[in-house]
Structure 1
Amino acid sequence: MEGPDKWALLDRLTIAADSFELSHRTLTVLKALLSFLPSRHIPDGPAGVVFASNARLSDRLHGMPESTLRRHLAQLVRLGLLVRRDSPNRKRFARNRGGEIASAFGFDLSPLVLQAELIERAASEAEAQQERLLAQRDRILVLRHALIRQEGNRALSDEAGRLLRRKPEAETLSQLEAQLRAALEAVESGALECEPSAPCLSLSTVQVSASDSQNERHIQDSDKSYLNSERTHRSKTPDVKTADNCKPSQEEAGVTLADVLETCKEARSFFPERLRDWRDLVRVGDQIAPMLGIDQPVLIEAKRNMGAESAAVTVLCLLEKAATIRSPGAYLRRLTQMACEGRFTLSPMLMALRNRGNCQLTT
């Protein structure tokens, strides 16, 4: 009688590995044992006994030391996934009769067949748990982005980002989700004051107590004015006011587009086409920012305080030093805060990159 497909069963057992306290190495040993069965299905009786020696098993495991092999075999026996059938002299061998295996001594894989339903159930539960974790992570990401957008608890949003890069358990994720919800509620109720490390924006710039839809409209409207600043500059119409009219254009600040393109060469690796004007540079900066792990709300805030052109140049500078900057998003936040305080200029940063003698971006 044929049992289940051995490889399909191994796949399900791999998914349910945590339920059976199986390590990757132990599963590799089990896979080697299954490879000695000539058929794809696990047979019952003596035909389901693997009688390969430790030396042959070690060879199939690419030279695994026999002491390590014996430890993993003992773990499989202890978990009841296989049974050891010892001969009187503890040698492993099989006796044939009529072209079939009549008796065999070695590792009996029939317990895998008997536990097939248990393995399938454990794998299904593991998959369901994984889906719940993914859904929980998605909710936390949404809450974190909302908290960043509304200028909420910055330390908590940073910690959430670090935590999500690991593999936290469900309980940890639940606690984090509750903390993020509480922080958002505090922001919406106006109870959360501006943190010392965060850019303290006036109510005319950001209305913390406004609803999500109002904040979203504010960001979109402001973002349009950034992109329109280039058109306003070109037309040289002094009567037209934009969100950036209090900030000098890049060329007025002593930074030309040619200077930027000559200094920030890494962007050409991703966008080899020629950048003709500042609008093209802003577009490229918008595309590079997520590649560096910079969240959209952080980029929008940089545009609000620096201007769209300065923010784009800053992003290209961060790309130049991506190998030495641990968190480009946090770095851009700090520069945004300096811009909010009137202490940010592009020229020293570009000069440091041109000289290459100074390995840090300075302002």
Structure 2
Amino acid sequence: MESGNVTTPFGRRPMTFGMLASQTAAGKIEPGRSIDKWKIYRALCEAKPMLGITDRALAILNALLSFYPKGELSEENGLVVFPSNAQLSLRAHGMAEQTIRRHLASLVEAGLLIRKDSPNGKRYARKEQGGDIREAFGFSLAPLLARADEIERLAAEVAAERLHLQRLKERLTLCRRDVAKLIEMALEEGVAGDWGGIHLHFRNIVERLPRSPSAAQIADALDELELLRNEITNQLEMQEETHNRSGNAPHYERHIQNSNPQYITEFEPSFETKQGAMADDRPVGQAEPAAPVQKREDTNSHVQAATYASAGSGALKSFPLGLVLQACPEIAAYGPEGSIGSWRDLMAAAVVVRSMLGVSPSAYEEACEVMGPENAATVMACVLERAGHINSAGGYLRDLTRRAERGEFAIGPMLMALARTSLPMRNKTG
């Protein structure tokens, strides 16, 4: 049994009001009160952020509890344990004695232990003739019994806060997925609107979150994303109503307007050399000399534009130039004067990149015929962005071309994936 007297620490350790308060509270334990020692320890592990203790300090407390002979903490069984630091080190997985002393002091300061020092500072117990412990000097576990209700309440609050944070994270994940897929769908279907700007705003909201956000930070981001999702949904619903009233005419008009079959021959030097050769020197299937071709293009330009729109852009949707440059920033260095300001500049840069990556002129020409010049240039920009992960750029482009012919390839997911990876890199380097 413990005496109810106030004890002071041995040696140079000062007495504090916190120690006095812990001893006063321990003296008010209800008679007959007991609690499972491992249950209260689990509650302490849960409530450690609220109590200001570390996991290493809890490891020392675990070792102390292992020296308590009973499973239930109670005054009848005594509440003082008296292992030496060497014994504690063995049960704390070899923790250094200096570290043990530091964490014992933190447990005392947190009001979870009470020092009951002997006259010489040693830890030991005096036993009666029958073997029962009459008085023990060491560390009293009485604060755990006295503060059991408080510790369990703090543990419940921490658990509730963790559950609240988990549910917020789940809602945030669902909302992020909804916004990303709605933007991707709008780009894939060619819906009118500043989807590049919307996607940039979406990424800015997500990137503002720290690595370990608090519940308040997640709630703020969730409010912004839910508002953005509602705006996107309303815009898509209005576009759907307009689409149902007017049919598909605006959808095809945009692609015909952006198609220009002359870009391929203008920006591909190897084509110009072949077109200028004599007819007898051309291989089978080679294009006619430049002059007849130019004449026929001048007379049938409208027919050719419609052909490109139906054969290439009809199968794949084109995307805003700003979005392409946002997802594929590396292609800008290959444009005229080191920048890209128009689709014409992008297609000129794509020809340079094609040669640099070893893509044959025939593979790129076939891609232009199937996908359309703008989409082929966009694909080349994506290939350049992923060049380190592609073994054969030419074979990869031919595979995409065949898939596009079968209607199994879409540029939208490729652009969105690159946009998600390129924005954090620009934020770090910029």
**TM-score band, normalised by the shorter chain?**
0.5 to 0.7
1:101 aligns with 2:133: yes
Give the gaps of 5 or more residues in structure 1. Answer: 191-206, 215-240, 248-337, 357-362
1:168 aligns with 2:207: no
Q: Deviations over 1:57-106 (max 9, x none)?
A: 11211221222111111111111111000011111001112222111000
Query: Within 1, Cα distance between the matches of 2:122 and 2:55?
Result: 28
Query: Within 2, Cα distance between the matches of 1:339 and 1:146?
Result: 29
Shift of 1:342: 4.9
Secondary structure of the residue aligned to 2:134 is: strand
Match of 2:229 among 184, 187, 191: 184
Shift of 1:32: 0.9
Q: Report if the CA contact (8 A) 2:82-2:137 is conserved.
A: yes
Cα RMSD (Å)? 3.6
Query: Within 2, Cα distance between the matches of 1:339 and 1:119?
Result: 66
Secondary structure of the residue aligned to 1:119 is: helix
Cα distance change, pair 107–352 in 1 and its aligned pair in 2 (3 A): closer
The one-letter code of the counterpart of 1:130 is R
Q: Deviations over 1:38-67 (max 9, x none)?
A: 121123267321111112111211221222
Query: Within 1, Cα distance between the matches of 2:171 and 2:85?
Result: 49
Query: Within 1, Cα distance between the matches of 2:113 and 2:388?
Result: 68
Q: With CA pairs under 8 Å and 6+ residues apart, which has the higher RCO, 1 or 2?
A: 2
Cα distance change, pair 29–171 in 1 and its aligned pair in 2 (3 A): same
TM-score by length of 2: 0.45
Query: Within 1, Cα distance between the matches of 2:105 and 2:214?
Result: 29
Match of 1:81 among 91, 107, 112: 112
1:17 aligns with 2:48: yes
Partner of 2:98: 67
Secondary structure of the residue aligned to 1:88 is: coil
1:129 aligns with 2:161: yes
Cα distance change, pair 352–76 in 1 and its aligned pair in 2 (3 A): closer
Give the gaps of 5 or more residues in structure 2. Answer: 1-31, 184-194, 244-309, 317-372, 394-399, 401-430
Partner of 1:54: 85
Query: Within 1, Cα distance between the matches of 2:89 and 2:389?
Result: 57
Larger mean CA deviation between 153-162 and 165-174 belongs to 153-162
Q: Report if the CA contact (8 A) 2:205-2:224 is conserved.
A: no
Cα distance change, pair 99–33 in 1 and its aligned pair in 2 (3 A): same
Partner of 1:246: 315
Secondary structure of the residue aligned to 1:150 is: helix
Secondary structure of the residue aligned to 1:99 is: coil
What does 1:319-338 correspond to in 2, within 5 Å? none
The one-letter code of the counterpart of 2:379 is F
Query: Within 1, Cα distance between the matches of 2:210 and 2:374?
Result: 30
Cα distance change, pair 149–208 in 1 and its aligned pair in 2 (3 A): farther
Higher-Rg member (1/2): 2
Query: Within 1, Cα distance between the matches of 2:219 and 2:157?
Result: 19
Q: Report if the CA contact (8 A) 2:172-2:222 is conserved.
A: yes
Q: Deviations over 1:150-169 (max 9, x none)?
A: 21643454466667794311
More helix by proportion, 1 or 2?
Answer: 2
Partner of 1:267: none
Query: Within 2, Cα distance between the matches of 1:103 and 1:56?
Result: 20
Match of 1:148 among 180, 184, 187: 180
Partner of 1:323: none
Secondary structure of the residue aligned to 1:343 is: helix
The one-letter code of the counterpart of 2:67 is F
Query: Within 2, Cα distance between the matches of 1:107 and 1:354?
Result: 67
Shift of 1:187: 2.7
Q: Report if the CA contact (8 A) 2:47-2:151 is conserved.
A: yes
Shift of 1:27: 0.9
Indicate the percent of aligned positions where both proteins have the same amino acid.
Answer: 32
Partner of 1:270: none
Query: Within 2, Cα distance between the matches of 1:164 and 1:339?
Result: 36
Q: Report if the CA contact (8 A) 1:95-1:104 is conserved.
A: yes
Cα distance change, pair 147–91 in 1 and its aligned pair in 2 (3 A): same
Cα distance change, pair 351–41 in 1 and its aligned pair in 2 (3 A): closer
